[in-house]
Amino acid sequence: MQELVLVQPGRTVGDELAQRAAQADTRREFEERLAECGPLAYRVARGVLRNTADAEDVAQEALLRAYRKFDRLRDRNRFRAWLVRIAFRLALDRLRSGKRRELRDTLWSQPQRQPPAATAENLAASTEFQVHLESALAELPEKLRLVLLLAAMEGHTIDEIAATLGISAGTVKSRIFYARKQLAEKLRCHANIIKTR
């Protein structure tokens, strides 16, 4: 089917073509980053929201926003950090809105949504501990939570996290330490679960 082209009366064909070319360049450049950064946005959102469907929605929205404002990003090397912040903010907003809280709880209680366990014996303990862990993670301050999530993601070094968030490596280490300590305090009461593993 032939594509219909809408041309403004006051503009020349040259202007139109130049704009199309610029848009195509932007799209191409964005596509190059999409394959690498799309999963990152999803994982950040998933770490905050604990729900696959919500995380996918938020990741899509974050990527779309990033695309719309891609022209304004002067330093394209900062794209990852920029996208992480957008996805994290959107995920927090979605979490606070609580629109799908009931659905999320329902989905999460289903066994197929749980992380796979090695044996049937460990399944119950692992599942229960994971639920407690994610609840404890959700209660962490935002700064600690984001650093901990990024640190737990594959392929993220301390220096990369520091560069992504624009903080020093020492601050990243300190935040990871305090975040793990706070998690341990919240989960220590479930030590009997751990013992069974």
Partner 1 sequence: MPCQHYKDALIEAAASGAQPQGYLRAHLNVCLDCRAAFEQEQSLFSSIDAGLHLTANPDVPPSLLPRVRARLDEAAATRRGWMPQWFALASAALMVVAFLAARAVWRTNVVQKPIETARKTSVPPPENHNPVVVRPVEKNPVSQRQFAIDKNPLAPETLISGKTMPEVLVPRDQEILLAEYAAQWRLHARAPLLAQDSDATILSPLQVAPIQIAELDVKLLADQKSQ
Residues that bind partner 1 (CB under 8 A): 6, 8, 23, 27, 30-31, 34-35, 38-39, 42-43, 46-47, 50, 52, 55-56, 59-60, 63-64, 67-68, 115, 129-130, 133-134, 137, 148-150, 152-154, 177, 180-181, 183-184, 187-188, 191, 194-195, 197
Which residue number, 78 or 173, has a Cβ lying nearer to partner 1? 173
Nearest distance from residue 80's CB to partner 1, in Å?
15
- Which one, of 186, 189, 86, lies nearest residue 138 by Cα? 186
Contact 155, 113 (CB under 8 A): no
For residue 74, the SS3 value is: coil
Q: Closest distance between partner 1 and the C-beta of residue 20, in Å?
A: 8
| Closer residue to partner 1 in complex, CB, 68/72 | 68
The number of CA neighbours under 13 Å toward the Cβ of 5 is: 7
Structural contact between residues 38 and 63, judged by C-beta atoms closer than 8 angstroms = yes
Helices (H), the chain: 13-49, 52-68, 79-97, 101-109, 120-138, 142-152, 158-165, 169-187, 191-196
Nearer to partner 1, 60 or 171 (CB): 60
Residue (140 or 162) nearer to partner 1, CB: 140
As measured in angstroms, the least distance from the Cβ of 61 to partner 1 is 9
In the complex with partner 1, the residue whose CB is nearer, 64 or 99, is 64
